[in-house]
Amino acid sequence: MTFLDPATWQDRVYAGGWTVPGGGVREVREPATGAALGSVGLASAADVAAAADRAAEAQREWAARPHTERTAILLKAAALLTEHADEIAEWLVRESGSVRLKAGIEIESSAGECTQAAALASAPYGELLPADGRISLQRRVPAGTVAVISPFNFPLLLSMRSVAPALALGNAVIVKPDPRTAVCGGVVIARIFEEAGVPAGVLQVLPGDAEAGAALVEHPAIPVVSFTGSTRAGRAIGAKAGELLKRAHLELGGNSALIVCEDADIEAAASCGAFGSFLHQGQICMATGRHLVHRSRYDRYVELLGKKAEQLPVGDPFTADVAIGPIIDAGQLAKIRDLVDRSVAAGARLVQGGTADGPFYRPTVLADCDLRIPAYAEEVFGPVACVRPFDTLDEAAALAAEGEYGLALGVLTADPAAGLALADRIPSGLVHINDQTVNDDPAAPFGGVGASGIGRVGGARANVEAFTETQWVTVRAESARYPF
């Protein structure tokens, strides 16, 4: 039996054990071929309610366990991810359309999230406060049950980024992966922590559609929601969470800018730009959507970026060594094609790409872009790079700051201090000097500003703030007495 043998989870959800769901069954399909790989159960609102009740009961016992036990479980989870990396990678390739490079990055980063969280379980969690005649302190206590709603693009990592620290800090967790990647974003995590020894009910994985997601957000026993997905869905979740006085950590969309300064190494810049725009078919919130290039380097940059797009092999990553795999589904493919077609009609110059072969969209470079070009003004979530020239750093700062998003920013320059000074003028949650926009580190806080979201997950301080509550505690040697 393999670690992810479908016989163990077919048509099931994980609720501290594999159970029959109330929301029906969905086929797991390979986006490159359309082939069925198995099936998963879909949770109903009633399943979510039952899971929330189980989680509330299990969480109290989990939080009371020694922190060394939580550390050991998370370290074992990291080891299991490494031990079963080949099998997990195959599912990432087949179910999510990942190329081998991206699958390896995702598994390694997910193991890193578990390792980082293992240390978090024993981190200091309070401080003494000034007081007379008593001990006064503040401490962080588990929030309770955390709902994690994760997307299709990095399904394992973007679930694990919240799951691992939430568990380490003594919370129960209910994960609702995108149903298109329910194995990579759900079954893998259930199996990892099942083998690692998480007690029944502490972690539950309930694939589902919008009904299940809404039930998680609205359930009164779930005080924290960690959501990664579209800005449209995030606004609705944030509004409902505010109404219910819940915390929502929202990692949403982006249209990130890469600024190529006059003194940048233009060959390296084109490499950065291609990776930032085309990794995982551009289906990344941090993807480089806007390439802002100094006019003196503009023509050469467009030429080099176009050559890289032309040379990248495209195809089924399960059967061939390719750099670009399939778009996740027909709806997303149609959106990309529409944005590119309308962009060319609006005046963008098609340098490379702009065509599809089945579910595979060629890496595309559009030049001479501005806000009239839909693919430049909007988040594409596809392998499309839009290039625009600038003349001064003032203009570059203004162009990069345009629009509602503020997730990631890259600045390429021979003068890092000048690059950081430029970045200081551009609202962004993530800034990378002399690198492209797609970066991640388990030890670093992650999140954006504006329409790119609110809250931070990642790194010890942000994770403690995200998944615990502050509690004030006082202790007297004997009972206090009052004049009434």
Task: Note every long-range contact of 475-482, with CB atoms under 8 Å and residues 24 or more positions apart, other chains counting.
Answer: 475/134, 475/135, 476/133, 476/134, 476/135, 477/134
What backbone phi and psi angles, to 5 degrees, belong to 318? -80, -30
> What is the C-alpha separation between 305 and 328, in angstroms, rounded?
24
What's the pLDDT band for 165 if we cut at 50, 70, 90?
Answer: very high
Name the token pair of 101.
Answer: 């490079």
Name the token pair of 449.
Answer: 């500003």
Assess whether pLDDT exceeds 60 at residue 305: yes
Average pLDDT, the chain: 97
Span 427-455, mean pLDDT? 96
Assess whether pLDDT exceeds 80 at residue 436: yes
Looking at the annotation, which residues are catalytic?
Answer: 251, 285
What's the pLDDT band for 27 if we cut at 50, 70, 90?
Answer: very high
β partners of residue 389:
293
Residues whose CB is less than 8 angstroms from the CB of residue 320 and which lie 6 or more positions away in sequence, other chains included: 313
State which amino acid sits at residue 80.
L
pTM of the predicted model as reported, rounded to 2 decimal places: 0.96
Assess whether pLDDT exceeds 90 at residue 12: yes
Using DSSP bridges, classify how beta strands 145-149 and 224-228 pair: parallel, antiparallel or unpaired: parallel
Assess whether pLDDT exceeds 80 at residue 365: yes
Cβ(162)–Cβ(216) below 8 Å: no
Cβ(213)–Cβ(206) below 8 Å: no
Between CA 323 and CA 31, with CA 342 as vertex, the angle to 5 degrees is 35
Assess whether pLDDT exceeds 90 at residue 2: no
What's the pLDDT band for 298 if we cut at 50, 70, 90?
Answer: very high
Span 23-35, mean pLDDT? 96
> What is the C-alpha separation between 315 and 329, in angstroms, rounded?
15
| 172-222: pLDDT as tens digits | 999 999 999 999 999 999 999 999 999 999 999 999 999 999 999 999 999
Burial of residue 116 (number of CB atoms within 10 Å: 0-12, 13-18, 19+) = buried
Q: What pLDDT sits at residue 401?
A: 97
β partners of residue 384:
364
Cβ(100)–Cβ(93) below 8 Å: yes
Q: What pLDDT sits at residue 252?
A: 97
Q: What pLDDT sits at residue 205?
A: 98
> What is the C-alpha separation between 54 and 430, in angstroms, rounded?
37
| 69-99: pLDDT as tens digits | 999 999 999 999 999 999 999 999 999 999 9
What's the pLDDT band for 229 if we cut at 50, 70, 90?
Answer: very high
Span 275-295, mean pLDDT? 98
Assess whether pLDDT exceeds 60 at residue 1: no
Residue 470: its H or E element: strand 468-475
Q: Can you list the alpha helix ranges (DSSP code H) found in 33-171?
A: 45-64, 67-83, 85-96, 100-120, 155-168
Total Cβ atoms within 10 A of residue 319: 10
Span 356-378, mean pLDDT? 97
Total Cβ atoms within 10 A of residue 309: 24
| 195-207: pLDDT as tens digits | 999 999 999 999 9
Cβ(179)–Cβ(172) below 8 Å: no
- CA nearest neighbour of 118 among 181, 160, 76: 76
